[in-house]
Structure 1
């Protein structure tokens, strides 16, 4: 799931990528995915399990896996990592009370699943 995997996929004719959308519950993951797909975001329910939405971005078919962020679901996040090309970590910057716990979950996730390959890249994006 690192940079080399992404580069190999770029060379493929189809250019399809699997991207996990993760974060704490009520962070806005589903709203972001729905907005990217052009869907209405006024009535969004918590994601129980996961949902998959495919969008085209330039020449890429991005399969966005919107995975629930409830505490009971987080232990299953690692099961989604196989054949994943990237992760979008969503944080609700307005919820100051949960910023620290969100950071802890991200670091735990990176420590367990992402680190060690040497080819992975974490890029924080500004809000």
Structure 2
């Protein structure tokens, strides 16, 4: 699971695994697996270009050539959040041809999505 800081990665993980919200500290490090979950703070318009750049770099990595991609458009409970469709367009997800991908609106705090 990847994403910029404060996107909600750890909150989503604990919501998924334990069905509860936990208060977390920043996580350091990563693991390579068969799929990529990228969590995006849907309110962070200023850093979406950075997210896009990091996503495309990651998709080029030799360990991830067969990885599927799930993009979580987190923080959909906030009125200033971008929609999943808007994020998909900004990230140019339709240009990704060598990986299966899906974008999902979500709210880590409530477990929706």
TM-score, length-scaled by structure 2: 0.54
Aligned to 2:93: none
Aligned to 2:6: 26
DSSP-derived class of the 2:58 partner: helix
Kindly state the Cα deviation for residue 25 of structure 1 after the two structures are TM-superposed.
1.5
- Deviation readout 1:4-39 (Å, 9 max, x if unpaired): xxxxxxxxxxxxxxxxx1111211110100111225
- Deviation readout 1:26-74 (Å, 9 max, x if unpaired): 111101001112254352211123xxxxxxxxxxxxxxxxx3xxxxxxx
Aligned to 1:122: 100
CA distance in 1, matches of 2:57, 2:34: 19
- Kindly tell me the number of residue pairs found equivalent between the two proteins: 74
Structure 1 residue ranges without an equivalent (≥5): 1-20, 50-66, 68-79
**Aligned 8 A contact 2:2 2:37 in 1:** yes
- Deviation readout 1:62-92 (Å, 9 max, x if unpaired): xxxxx3xxxxxxxxxxxx33xx221111111
The aligned runs of 1:28-107 (5 Å cut-off) are 28-38=8-18, 40-49=20-29, 67=30, 80-81=31-32, 84-107=33-56
Q: Which of 59, 62, 65 matches 1:110?
A: 59
Higher normalized strand content (fraction of residues): 1
Kindly state the Cα deviation for residue 124 of structure 1 after the two structures are TM-superposed.
2.6
Alpha-carbon RMSD:
2.3
CA distance in 2, matches of 1:100, 1:124: 19
Rg larger for: 1
